[in-house]
Structure 1
Amino acid sequence: MNKVTSVFWITLGIALFAVAWGSIAPENLQTITGAIQSFISVHFGWYYLLIVSGFVIFCLYMIVSPYGKIRLGKPTDKPEYNYLTWFAMLFSAGMGIGLVFWGAAEPIYFYATNAPTTETGTPAAIKEAMQFAYLHWGIHAWAIYATVALVLAYFKFRHGAPALISSTLKPIFGDKMDGPWGRLIDVIAVFATIVGVATTLGFGASQINGGLTYLTPITESFGVQVIIIAVVTVLFMISAYTGLSKGIKYLSNANMFLAISLITIMFIVGPTLFILNMFTDTFGAYLQNLPSMSFRLAPTSEENRQWINSWTVFYWAWWISWSPFVGIFIARVSKGRTIREFLSGVLLVPSVLGFLWFATFGSSAIQVQQDGEANIADLATEQAMFGTFDQYPLGLLMSIVAMVLIGTFFITSADSATFVLGMQTTNGSLTPPTAVKFVWGIIQSSMAAVLLYSGGLQALQNALISSAFPFSLLMILMVISLYKALRADKAEIDRQKEKDKAKSSA
């Protein structure tokens, strides 16, 4: 533990306080986080929509700009992982449990119970349900991750800076980032990561419990969820002990295999033609309506505004709170790629995979609902996927594969997060001590259990939106800092080219 910095001890103290608070006074924690979440959603919903769309525009600009040719590393550096392993790692770290949790639940809920703007249960509601699922899980989400990852990878691999959020702001604030202000920034990033990952672990435990309840006599309860969290904690600690190149790499490839197997089975036994037609139609509608959906705030309709706060603003906060963790992890595995190659891969490939996922499972659930075979919309959110499987051939097999997939996603998310938290609290070390990773693993799991105890899924959402807000301000500064550094870097490259040209012509 001799490598740890003051950021480790400060954040550990804050996290232990939060865990103790939730254990001793769960209702008080739920009330206060709920009030913070409500205030931010109501007064700063416009802010979330603007900055996240801004990150999308920034990433697209960087792809087509002259800066796209700059390599994340030295000019001779080559990527450490091949494309398939790289994409598997991106997908596992960036989405994981959430896709399985919401794959059927979100489209069916929008269609049958709570459509964004249209009447529920109508053909228009189907189309709108899929479009908004694409919005929440597509380009915008990955632009948030890509922005943080790009900034970190650029400063780490091109300029040799520590893999810390604070170190990326030196072009703006200089040596101030080596003192208390830098530590404050890193504490904000670490705490946002803990809450973001704990929320996802809570969702994962809830869905594994929901699947067991749907398939077996096991009841859905907090006690069962704690047991699930404990078992997975042991498993991801074993994975963390083996290190990045072994544990996370193998599990990420296993995740990709299981996810492809699950979606392939569903595509074959499900309403194949309906899925293909729905994907083609709704993907086109998504592209057509992307600008209006991105900035939709409904200031004159309280009901529509509440929907945006509960869904779109929540998702943007979720991705922002996850972005320190996912961004650092993506940066760590992306050395040697050009900015253009990096952003194209991070933005487009996982987004398209997510669209196919929602089209397959969402369309299958909607087909069941339309035919009256089962009322999927009335099931608990965590059981919607299993209820859909139950209405198709090989349903039990798909449920088992999904349970295993949630488990492996659970492990890779927590494993990757302990690695990243270890980096952030040991001055950016790429090989943080195992003991540090174990401490953060226990803290994450404890936080997930406390949030479930203090108010279930709603408490998870409250904590997310509350923790994401301060880090979103840091993201804006990171973009400004990167652009400032890139302009200087590009000018230096151009000067060197002119010198080389002058020498060759002399």
Structure 2
Amino acid sequence: MTAHNPTTPPDPGPDPGEESGRPARIDRTVFGISAALVLAFVAWGLWRTDSLSALSSTVLDWLIVNGGWAFVLVATGLVVFALWLAASRYGRIPLGSDDEPAEFRTVSWVAMMFSAGMGIGLMFYGVSEPLAHFAEPPPGTVPPGSDAAVETAMATSLFHWTLHPWAIYAVVGLAIAYSSFRRGRKQLISAVFAPLLGRRTASGPLGKLIDVLAIFATLFGSAASLGLGTLQIGSGLQASGWLSGSPAVGLLVAVIAVLTVAFIASAVSGVAKGIQWLSNINMVLAAVLAVFLLVVGPTVFILDLVPSAIGNYFRHMGEMTARTGATGGAAMQQWLSTWTIFYWAWWISWTPFVGMFIARISRGRTIRQFVCGALLVPAAVSVVWFAIFGGTAIDAQRHGTDLAAAGAPEAQLFDVLARFPLGAATGVLVMVLVAIFFVSGADAASMVMGTLSQRGSIHPRCSVVVFWGVATGAVAAVMLMVGGGTDNALTGLQNLTIIAAAPFTVVIVLLCVSLVRDLRSDPLILRAEKGAELIEEAVLTGDDRYDGDFQLQVSAGPATEEAAPPAGSAEEAAGDEREEVPVSRA
């Protein structure tokens, strides 16, 4: 018995040009509008930095006061939505055809999820965030530096780095994977909206607007990561003694230029195996750094912190989810814009890139497997990472070393490593890790922006990829300058990331609605519904006619009987078998 949705026409396949081996066509509307706006932003930032800085501060203040609740609500809503999808009847739907096996073995799939869970963010905030919350907890919570502050610091860090970010990624990645692998649509964010808007509208002006917003979100998210990596490399140069004094803006821009050239060369070279090799080496080096700090640092305190942090995370979940300006006034709003809302905006801006990555490696997985893998594996990595790096920093702070006041957030990891043997060598290792993490990530982000610019092509033109790579570096430089110097560079990154991610937040909410509508018409769900309906009807009929003493059997319908094989043939004997299921009332 086959079910289908007669009202849903088949979706278009890949670009004909790409199928024939020719380069896919550039979507002139999406690419042209995006490129023009980005160039205008860069020009504004270079020639009127003060004006852009003032406007971004004004817009941010308005957004935090009037829309901060939306970021908080959407992020938590996506956690609930992802868990509901996994637990619901939709969880058994495969991301591919019904009998399609998983593309990657489970071990490899988990390893790639682990790789996606690492990056510049963990390198930058692994020490600085728990330390900041310990020295200065969220307004109105616990006394600074107390035992309760340890609980709050770790719980808040895990709140920002475990289920919430990966639920955001998982929902968008799931929508892309389902739309591409199950429905055969193009790998575009706009294509996911076909069930909600209609295929024609989703590929029209409104769909192009969605793709433009996705490009902007990815661009600013990548630029923010590049900015964070640049700040940390600058601090590493200072900590290693290769630079006297704080790094100037000119030096930071030079670092951005070098990293930009590196990831553009990576993106256009086609040496995917080389980048994969570098990424695997980076994961090994990150693991070596973590194990080294676990061994030479406060080992017992770190191990005690793991179960404690997990317990406190779930215990304080309701309180952390409910933090808004209504509960803490201006002080809480300021704190949220620096931490929670910035994080939610950053994760949202990264969803097109990370979503496409985890979608690409998850073909053949069921929705339940996808959600559980995307949530649990990276979350486990974050728990261990923050326990080691954050726990080491908090232990040093509790025993008289004032790391929180000693330097900027980007320098605190180097300050921690300097307290242990091989401090100079591990500092250099951190700079190498940050550089490779960014190069491998920005490589993929540039490809994603190229894909969105070329009608979903999985092999965008080198010229398009180069343009988006240069644009990412230019936007990162402007974001640093908008902060008003190296001391406030992080503020500029955070402010513009929140502003750029705000429109895409609306896109993600509507994407959830479109995904549910798509899932409701899935052939697997329709077959199950039709089967349940037929069985219920048969049972009611049998109960009514035979007072509960009856049996169900499956046989050929009238159309099949007309084309039945000759009597007495082997085919007839095989087709005359009956599957009988005794049924009676309890």
TM-score clears 0.5: yes
Most deviating of 410-419 and 304-313: 304-313
Q: Which residue of 2 aligns with 1:37?
A: 60
The structure whose RCO (Cα within 8 Å, separation 6+) is larger is 1
Q: Output the TM-score relative to the length of structure 2.
A: 0.82
Q: Which residue of 2 aligns with 1:350?
A: 378
Aligned residues of 2:450 and 2:465 also touching (Cα < 8 A): yes
In the TM superposition, what whole-angstrom CA distance separates every residue of 1:277-306 from its partner, at most 9, and x where no partner exists? 112112111012212211222514222343
1:217 equivalent to 2:250? Answer: no
Q: CA RMSD in A?
A: 2.1
1:248–1:291 distance in 2 versus 1, CA, 3 Å: farther
Aligned residues of 1:93 and 1:416 also touching (Cα < 8 A): no
Q: CA deviation at 1:371?
A: 1.3
In the TM superposition, what whole-angstrom CA distance separates every residue of 1:357-377 from its partner, at most 9, and x where no partner exists? 111101101111111145344
**1:54-133 map, 5 Å:** 54-93=77-116, 95-116=118-139, 117-133=141-157
Q: Which residue of 2 aligns with 1:474?
A: 507
Q: Which residue of 2 aligns with 1:268?
A: 295
Q: Which residue of 2 aligns with 1:138?
A: 162
Q: CA deviation at 1:83?
A: 4.1
Q: Which amino acid aligns with 1:364?
A: T
1:3 equivalent to 2:25? Answer: yes
Q: Which residue of 1 aligns with 2:548?
A: none
Q: Hey, what's the Cα distance between the residues in 1 that align with 2:463 and 2:242?
A: 38
1:375 equivalent to 2:399? Answer: no
1:402 equivalent to 2:430? Answer: yes
Alignment match of 2:493 (pick from 460, 483, 487): 460
Q: Hey, what's the Cα distance between the residues in 2 that align with 1:13 and 1:95?
A: 33
In the TM superposition, what whole-angstrom CA distance separates every residue of 1:183-240 from its partner, at most 9, and x where no partner exists? 1111111111101110111111111111111112314121221222222222212321
Aligned residues of 2:393 and 2:403 also touching (Cα < 8 A): no
Ranges in structure 1 where 5+ consecutive residues have no aligned partner: none
Q: Which residue of 1 aligns with 2:474?
A: 446
In the TM superposition, what whole-angstrom CA distance separates every residue of 1:80-120 from its partner, at most 9, and x where no partner exists? 34445444544544551011001000111111134452111
Q: CA deviation at 1:159?
A: 0.6
Aligned residues of 1:240 and 1:419 also touching (Cα < 8 A): yes
Count of residues in correspondence between the two structures:
506
Q: Hey, what's the Cα distance between the residues in 1 that align with 2:62 and 2:112?
A: 35
Alignment match of 1:151 (pick from 162, 175, 179): 175
Alignment match of 2:419 (pick from 376, 379, 391): 391
1:370–1:450 distance in 2 versus 1, CA, 3 Å: same
Ranges in structure 2 where 5+ consecutive residues have no aligned partner: 1-22, 484-488, 536-552, 556-576, 580-586
Q: Hey, what's the Cα distance between the residues in 2 that align with 1:418 and 1:83?
A: 28
1:282 equivalent to 2:282? Answer: no
Q: Hey, what's the Cα distance between the residues in 2 that align with 1:440 and 1:486?
A: 34
Most deviating of 48-57 and 78-87: 78-87
Aligned residues of 2:222 and 2:445 also touching (Cα < 8 A): yes
Aligned residues of 2:306 and 2:387 also touching (Cα < 8 A): yes
Q: Which residue of 2 aligns with 1:494?
A: 528
In the TM superposition, what whole-angstrom CA distance separates every residue of 1:127-181 from its partner, at most 9, and x where no partner exists? 1011100000110010011111000110011111111111111111102112111
Aligned residues of 1:108 and 1:362 also touching (Cα < 8 A): yes
1:300–1:478 distance in 2 versus 1, CA, 3 Å: closer
Q: Which residue of 1 aligns with 2:3?
A: none
Q: Hey, what's the Cα distance between the residues in 2 that align with 1:463 and 1:95?
A: 23
Q: Hey, what's the Cα distance between the residues in 2 that align with 1:39 and 1:86?
A: 42
Q: Hey, what's the Cα distance between the residues in 2 that align with 1:352 and 1:308?
A: 25
1:202 equivalent to 2:227? Answer: yes
Which protein is bigger by CA-based radius of gyration? Answer: 2
Q: SS at the partner of 1:3?
A: coil
Q: Hey, what's the Cα distance between the residues in 1 that align with 2:51 and 2:254?
A: 25
Q: Hey, what's the Cα distance between the residues in 2 that align with 1:221 and 1:335?
A: 46
Aligned residues of 1:146 and 1:343 also touching (Cα < 8 A): yes
Q: Which amino acid aligns with 1:172?
A: L
Q: CA deviation at 1:470?
A: 0.8
Most deviating of 370-379 and 306-315: 370-379
Q: Which residue of 1 aligns with 2:196?
A: 172
Aligned residues of 2:136 and 2:144 also touching (Cα < 8 A): yes
Q: Hey, what's the Cα distance between the residues in 2 that align with 1:162 and 1:129?
A: 43
1:299 equivalent to 2:326? Answer: yes
Q: Which residue of 1 aligns with 2:279?
A: 252
Most deviating of 96-105 and 427-436: 427-436
Identity %: 41
Q: Hey, what's the Cα distance between the residues in 2 that align with 1:495 and 1:505?
A: 23
Q: Hey, what's the Cα distance between the residues in 2 that align with 1:164 and 1:94?
A: 23
Most deviating of 99-108 and 111-120: 111-120
Aligned residues of 1:88 and 1:252 also touching (Cα < 8 A): no
Alignment match of 2:184 (pick from 160, 169, 173): 160
Q: Which residue of 1 aligns with 2:462?
A: 434
Aligned residues of 1:71 and 1:338 also touching (Cα < 8 A): yes
Higher helix share: 1
Q: Which residue of 2 aligns with 1:234?
A: 261
1:485 equivalent to 2:518? Answer: yes
